[in-house]
Structure 1
Amino acid sequence: MDTVSDTNTLGMLIRAERKSQSLTQEQLAGIAGVGVRFVRELEAGKESCQLGRALQVAQTLGLVLSVSTRRER
């Protein structure tokens, strides 16, 4: 399991999974119901990307995100 502590890491994980599924940014945007610009900015780690849409893209790719406390690590 990868630990995501910043937007750059999340973007890199989303990009890697998209590429492993042989999807273009345009294809992913269409499937996820978001704009291509949003996918580009998400993969680039833009900090102001909307969380709900980012979760939508992750879910579309089959990625599961979870939250844990420092005590649980």
Structure 2
Amino acid sequence: MQKIHTLKLLGETLRQARKDQGLTQEELASTCGVGVRFIREVEHGKDSCHIGKVLIVMQMLGLDTYTIPRGSNFNTENKS
């Protein structure tokens, strides 16, 4: 699990997940129902990206999203 505190870091994480799955930006965009430009902007940490679309991309890449209070000892294992 990685702490993501900037859009740039989120974009880098999504880009790495996409590459790990052997997907091109075009393939991911098509699967998610978004444009290739959107995928590029997310991967570069553009701050005006729509969060709803970002969440769709994360779902398609098999990434979960959690909100965890700072300082808590939260374990994401076996959570759904």
**Shorter-normalised TM-score: what interval?**
over 0.9
Q: CA deviation at 1:65?
A: 1.2
Written as runs of structure 1 = structure 2, the 5 A alignment for 1:1-73 is 1-73=1-73
Length-normalised TM-score, structure 2: 0.88
Q: Deviations over 1:35-72 (max 9, x none)?
A: 10000000000011000000000000001111111131
Partners in 2 of 1:71 and 1:9 — Cα distance? 21
Partners in 1 of 2:18 and 2:49 — Cα distance? 18
Length-normalised TM-score, structure 1: 0.96
Give the residue type in structure 1 aligned to 2:13.
Answer: L
Partner of residue 78, structure 2: none
- Gapped regions of structure 1 (runs ≥ 5): none
Q: Which has the larger radius of gyration?
A: 2
Give the residue type in structure 2 aligned to 1:28.
Answer: L
Partner of residue 76, structure 2: none
Give the residue type in structure 1 aligned to 2:3.
Answer: T
Count of aligned positions: 73
Structure having the larger proportion of residues in helix: 1
Counting aligned pairs with the same residue, the percent is 47
